[in-house]
């Protein structure tokens, strides 16, 4: 038997081999680098498991919780079934985690851990909030949209400091960075051109769809949120609340709550889902000027048993006026913002005080619906009283 190798075939084979080796090497170096950072910053190998889990912030904690869920599943089949029929991540909703989120790498790694003796392509539709964010970011008009403003006010989307490129040059990061950006830009242009070329044959059919532009998952942005978790007594939640208890609060905090306690959430940081965005804005009324009865009604409509209020959000000073979460909520609700400064002429004063501040005074109008069960310097946890059923 004779084998014939063409020059192009050998070159393609070598390219694939070198690419795989390079990818594996970079992945190994990155994992070692991240592990070293955690070890130096948190003394990671010598702290409790719950303390390690709290260090995972926002979506990192959420994704790691699914990896942990797969590891703790009695079998691979059961773990996959629980992910496909998840009713813990969002209260009163059963969702397919594999369809909603990019957790295939977590699932594959967990399967390896199940198989090996160690331990027991989706498409994302471009949505209106992304479009509003982009148009406002590049100066094509202002927006009051809550979701778009939530992105615009994050430091990650601000102007890059002038000394950034100088620091890149000092660490030799700039050159590979520019090379990577150029390659990705060329690939994006080619992919976009190819997609539009193929879709031009089916324009009448495409026009009927809700969104003409579709983004592939592998080129979607990863939004990084810089949020300080603080110290939360998750062990108390695990021992003092029912396993089926539903928690409401900020997106970034609830990701850690799910990871550390496994409790059911009302909302979480995977912000691409329209229903979840609307739900999050409703839950965030705890930081707006709202009537306690209305806040209780909103939270109970999502099955909430406990709500966590953070002083770092209620009295936020990190952002300027107009970018604080309470300001975004006030404007979205048609209310004037706190503090000195200008307001749009159509905004009106609210008839109610700010909920997150007023609830701490334990006035009868609030204790009628909420009971404080835990507090420290940062967090206040309240249990919601159940609605009394009317007699028939």
| Structure token digits, residue 92 | 């009163």
CB 155 within 8 A of CB 323: no
User: Which residues sit opposite 381 in a β-bridge?
Assistant: 308, 374
What residues contact residue 242 under an 8 Å CB cut-off, 6+ apart? 305
Among 121-135, 184-198, 375-389, which range has the highest average pLDDT? 375-389
pLDDT cut 90: percent of the chain above it: 29
Cα atoms in the Cβ-side hemisphere of radius 13 Å centred on 312? 16
Query: Cα(80)–Cα(70) distance, rounded to whole angstroms?
Result: 7
- Once rounded to an integer, what is the mean pLDDT over residues 6-16? 71
The highest-confidence range among 48-52, 66-70, 140-144, 178-182, by mean pLDDT, is: 66-70
In this structure, how many other beta carbons lie within 10 angstroms of the beta carbon of residue 134? Answer: 13
Instruction: Give CA–CA dist 19/254, Å, rounded.
Output: 38
Q: Which residue has the higher pLDDT, 18 or 137?
A: 18
Confidence of residue 355 (pLDDT cuts 50, 70, 90): very high
Q: Is the pLDDT of residue 47 over 80?
A: no
pLDDT, mean of residues 366-371: 96
What pLDDT score does 221 carry? 32
Residue of 315 and 270 predicted with greater confidence: 315
Query: What pLDDT score was predicted for residue 383?
Result: 96
Q: Is there a contact between 110 and 71 (Cβ–Cβ < 8 Å)?
A: yes
Highest mean pLDDT among 16-25, 29-38, 78-87, 162-171: 78-87
Q: What is the mean pLDDT of residues 160-177?
A: 69
Phi, psi of 265 (to 5 degrees): -115, 155
CA 307 to chain CA centroid, Å, is 18
| Calpha distance 265→275 (Å, rounded) | 14
pLDDT single digits (tens) 308-354: 999 999 998 888 899 999 999 999 999 999 988 899 999 999 999 99
Among the residues of the chain, which ranges form H helices? Answer: 7-42, 49-54, 58-72, 76-84, 97-100, 104-115, 128-137, 146-152, 164-170, 174-199, 203-206, 234-240, 251-261, 274-283, 292-301, 311-314, 325-332, 355-358, 364-367
Range ranked top by mean pLDDT from 101-110, 216-225, 320-329: 320-329
Residue with tokens 């005080």: 353
Quick check: helix, strand or coil at residue 246?
Answer: strand
Evaluated on CA atoms 121, 188, 138, 58, the torsion sign reads: positive
Q: Which helix (H) or strand (E) holds 124?
A: strand 123-125
121-162 pLDDT, tens digit each: 434 455 566 666 666 666 665 667 787 777 777 766 666 666
Q: Which tokens go with 273?
A: 């889902």
| pLDDT value of residue 305 | 96
Q: How many CB atoms lie within 10 A of CB 53?
A: 18
CB-side neighbour CA atoms (13 Å) of 294: 13
What does DSSP assign to residue 307? E
Give the per-residue pLDDT at 23: 82
Rounded to two decimals, the pTM is: 0.65
Angle formed by the axes of helices 76-84 and 104-115, nearest 10°: 160
The yes-or-no verdict on residue 205 having pLDDT over 80 is no
Cβ count within 10 A of residue 353: 15
Distance of CA 347 to the CA centre of its chain: 30
Longest dimension (CA), the chain: 90
6 band by pLDDT with thresholds 50, 70 and 90: low
**Confidence at 9, pLDDT banded by 50, 70, 90:** low
**Binning pLDDT at 50, 70 and 90, where does residue 208 land?**
very low
**375: β partners:** 380
**Percent of the chain residues topping a pLDDT of 70:** 71
Q: What is the dihedral of CA 196, 198, 201, 206, to 10 degrees?
A: -60
Task: Quote the DSSP letter at residue 349.
Answer: -
Task: Say yes or no to pLDDT of 262 above 80.
Answer: yes
Alpha helices in 162-218 (DSSP H): 164-170, 174-199, 203-206
In which residue are the tokens 């620091």 written? 167
pLDDT at 85: 94
Q: Could you tell me the strand order of the sheet in which 370-375 lies?
A: 264-265, 246-248, 306-310, 379-384, 370-375
Distance CA 163, CA 169 (A): 10
Q: CA 307 to CA 160: how far, in whole Å?
A: 36
Mean pLDDT of the chain: 78
């Amino acid at each position: 038997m004779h084998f014939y190798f063409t020059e192009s075939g050998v070159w393609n084979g070598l390219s694939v081999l070198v690419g795989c080796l390079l990818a594996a090497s970079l992945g190994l170096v990155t994992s070692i680098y991240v592990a070293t950072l955690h070890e130096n910053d948190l003394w990671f190998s010598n702290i409790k498991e719950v303390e390690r889990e709290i260090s995972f912030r926002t979506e990192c904690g959420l994704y790691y919780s699914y990896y942990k869920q797969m590891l703790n599943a009695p079998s691979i089949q059961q773990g996959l079934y629980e992910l496909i029929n998840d009713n813990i991540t969002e209260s009163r909703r059963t969702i397919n985690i594999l369809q909603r989120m990019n957790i295939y790498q977590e699932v594959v790694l967990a399967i390896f851990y199940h198989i090996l003796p160690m331990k027991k392509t989706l498409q994302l539709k471009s949505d209106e909030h992304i479009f509003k964010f982009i148009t406002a970011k590049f100066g094509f008009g202002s927006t009051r949209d809550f979701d778009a403003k939530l992105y615009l006010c994050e430091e990650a989307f601000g102007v890059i400091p002038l000394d950034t490129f100088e620091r890149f040059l000092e660490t030799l990061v700039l050159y590979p960075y520019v090379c990577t950006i150029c390659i990705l830009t060329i690939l994006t242009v080619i992919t976009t051109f190819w997609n539009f070329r193929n879709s031009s044959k089916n324009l009448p059919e495409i026009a009927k769809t809700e969104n003409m532009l579709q983004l592939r998952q592998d080129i979607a942005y990863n939004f990084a949120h810089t949020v300080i978790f603080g110290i939360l007594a998750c062990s108390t939640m695990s021992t003092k609340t029912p396993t089926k208890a539903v928690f409401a609060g900020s997106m970034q905090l609830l990701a850690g709550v799910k990871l550390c306690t496994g409790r059911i959430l009302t909302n979480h940081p995977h912000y691409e889902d329209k229903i979840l965005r609307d739900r999050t804005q409703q839950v965030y009324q705890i930081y707006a000027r709202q009537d306690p009865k209305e806040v209780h009604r909103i939270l109970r409509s999502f099955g909430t048993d406990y709500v966590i209020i953070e002083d770092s959000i209620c009295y936020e000073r990190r952002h300027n006026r107009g970018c604080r979460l309470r300001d975004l909520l006030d404007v979205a609700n048609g209310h004037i913002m706190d503090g000195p400064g200008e307001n749009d002429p159509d905004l009106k004063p609210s008839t109610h005080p700010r909920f997150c501040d007023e609830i701490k005074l334990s006035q009868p109008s609030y204790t009628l619906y909420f009971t404080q069960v835990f507090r420290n310097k940062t967090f206040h946890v309240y249990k919601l009283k159940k609605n009394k059923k009317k007699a028939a």
